[in-house]
Structure 1
Amino acid sequence: MGRRDFPRIPLFDAPTPIQRLERVEATLGLTGARLFVKRDDLMGLGGGGNKLRKLEFLLGAALDQGCDTFITTGARQSNHARLSAAAAARMGLKAELMLTDTVPREDPSYLHNGNQLLDELFGATVHHLPRDANALTAAYLRADALRAEGRKAYVVGAGGSSPVGALGDAACAAEIRMQEAELGLRFETIVVANGSHGTHAGLVAGMAVAEDDPQRVLSFTVLAELEAAEHGTLALAHQVFALLGGWEIRPEQVRIDGSQRGAAYGIPTEAMLAAVRLMARAEGLLVDPVYSGKAFAGVLAGLRDGSLTGDVLFVMTGGTPGLYAYQPAFA
């Protein structure tokens, strides 16, 4: 993966498996496509999920810099925050989470279950912030306060989607290419959810550094509106590619679809609910309602209308605990 001098700690067993979803194919009556899933939900630490890819590099950097605390930001039900708490516990660091009430919900399931339950179980210090707060500013102010106590904190923003964090997703691109060679196939499209942009940006940079086609990667934005998602993902892909010794990612190399976002981040859609149910009932697999659920809804729509053909890989990014926070939507 280009340069190899980035501090990194192992947090999961790689590679995560790729499996064919034959029962989903049968349910859809597919003839011109085959559907595969990359099981990043199977990572054992902290309930699993692809944010551990970023945390291998982020916590690697934190330990390399002699930090004793890891501070990050996110929404109240952030998968990244939950896995940050778990990974910090594994590495003997304190975790502090700056969580904003991004989603306008006040029901007990959302406020206290799912990732919120696990954050505290993993021993993180949780700071709840109002919806309009600047969580990253609060994180840096907290780091200043800890410095005054003689401690040293590593700070990263939402999703761990810094250039250093997204190196983990560039490594995922190399992992997918290796598995393609082993399986004797090539995925026409690799589909992911796009929240804080890091997964898509890292995959694009990882493909580009291998002189593979970054346009194979397609994301469905679940957080930002389409234009902002395109701008943010392209900018981050540039930064990650630069870390790897590359020069330029072109705008047309970043493909994002805005059709599955719905009213706003974290707000359920009928397509997401149907997609989560289909995956559960056809394959016995659980996709989360905020990220992979909406992206998988996009996969199903593309397979049905014929815009997705050939061999398609859906990167299932984990986030299963979030289902418990969305019980009212499924009731």
Structure 2
Amino acid sequence: MTMHMQIDRKLTEFPRIRLMTEVTPVERMNRMSDRLGIDLWLKRDDLTGLSFGGNKTRQLEFYFGEALHQKADTVLITGAVQSNFVRTAAAAAARLGMTSVLQLEERVPGMGPAYYRSGNVLLAQILGAEHMHFPVGEDEVGADNALHDHAARLRAEGRTPYVIHLGVDHPPLGALGYVQGGAELADQMAEFDVAVVPSGSGATHGGFLTGLRLSGHGAQVYGICVRRDQTQQKARMEKVLGKLAALMGFDPALVKEDIHVWDGALAPGYGQIGDRTRTALELMARTEGIFLDPVYTAKTFAGLLGLLDSGAIRKGQKVVMLHTGGLPALFGYQDQLEPT
């Protein structure tokens, strides 16, 4: 039995509903590899299939599995205005005949009308999602509590709600999707030196690292900070990995010493386009014809470039970057991305 099969067997202990189209491909970036002097590959999780794809599909397989296990008819979730997570949750709910309630938080200051009307906002409206507003952008506990308050009102109406939590103190069910994703990559590529992934909530980064390590793969994994500085993010990752280890029943020491985060592309903040982000986004588009989103993947690629400049990634190494999708958000950033 392969390590991947053993991981799959462990994951069958958790309720899960299949939302992925198929195993996502790994694709070599030939021109970018020549340009950067590394052997660069993308793990194409922008091609997960559901509702413009993206990494959240993997996570939602386990959240919706648990929701259906609890016989829920309504799912509540919170995120930024242009959140890919809430858009994909609305699509999953539609596919499964459930109602979705999306709480949109004010995380990104100074945005124009397109940010509030286009991209993921428009798609969620087409999907028929119900919407709530949360005026604070950096209060995960408050945002989760607001969802629970609304869930209580729904129960009083006879509905059966399920809350997908944002806060780090809850079991990271979504990370299970990336345990499977990391194992999937280990099966696809037996040898590579470095993986570069976005690091926000910690579910994708933590699950991916865990999946590789449980598969026996020792590649260095760098999480590129998209929301917090590296001191805050490292502390968050320790919590996420501790809870994931408890959830799956493995020794957290297997992964906790391998937390590497980098925040050099974070400025000027979450969901905001700095010079590094814009340069990375345009470089990938103009070199490989592949779009990156301004919130996660462009910052991730900017991080990869920064790690290469610093020598943390060395010339000639084989590097895999996780492309987490999120492309509808591009249209919400039209004002910032139009040529000046």
TM-score per shorter chain, which class? Answer: over 0.9
Distance 1:118 1:96 in 2: 14
Q: Which amino acid aligns with 2:172?
A: P
CA contact (8 A) 2:198 2:297 kept: yes
Distance 1:263 1:151 in 2: 42
Gaps of 5+ in 1: none
Residue 240 of structure 1: CA displacement? 1.3
Partner of 2:325: 318
TM-score (norm 2): 0.91
Q: Which amino acid aligns with 1:293?
A: A
Secondary structure of the 2:59 match is helix
Partner of 1:221: 225
Spell out, residue by residue over 1:150-187, the C-alpha distance to the aligned partner (whole angstroms, 9 max, x if none).
11111012399951111001100110111014xxxx12
Aligned equivalent of 1:50, options 40, 50, 55? 55
CA contact (8 A) 2:46 2:326 kept: yes
Question: Which moves more between the two structures, 273-282 or 160-169?
Answer: 160-169
Aligned equivalent of 1:37, options 14, 21, 42? 42
Distance 1:228 1:156 in 2: 23
TM-score (norm 1): 0.93
Task: Pick closer, same or farther for the CA change 1:6–1:50 going to 2, 3 Å.
Answer: same
Secondary structure of the 1:11 match is coil
Aligned equivalent of 1:129, options 124, 128, 134? 134
Distance 2:246 2:58 in 1: 19
Aligned equivalent of 1:282, options 284, 287, 310? 287
Partner of 1:247: 251
Distance 1:80 1:308 in 2: 30
Q: Identity over the aligned pairs, expressed in percent?
A: 38
Distance 2:324 2:167 in 1: 12
Partner of 1:153: 161
Distance 1:257 1:126 in 2: 34
The correspondence of residues 1-331 of structure 1 with structure 2, limited to 5 A, is 1=7, 3=10, 4-28=12-36, 30=37, 33-131=38-136, 134-158=142-166, 162-181=171-190, 186-213=191-218, 216-249=220-253, 251-309=256-314, 310-331=317-338
CA contact (8 A) 2:144 2:167 kept: no
Distance 1:79 1:48 in 2: 9
Q: Which amino acid aligns with 1:290?
A: V
Distance 1:106 1:291 in 2: 17
Gaps of 5+ in 2: 1-6
Distance 2:161 2:71 in 1: 9
Q: Which amino acid aligns with 1:328?
A: D
Task: Pick closer, same or farther for the CA change 1:251–1:174 going to 2, 3 Å.
Answer: closer
Secondary structure of the 1:98 match is strand
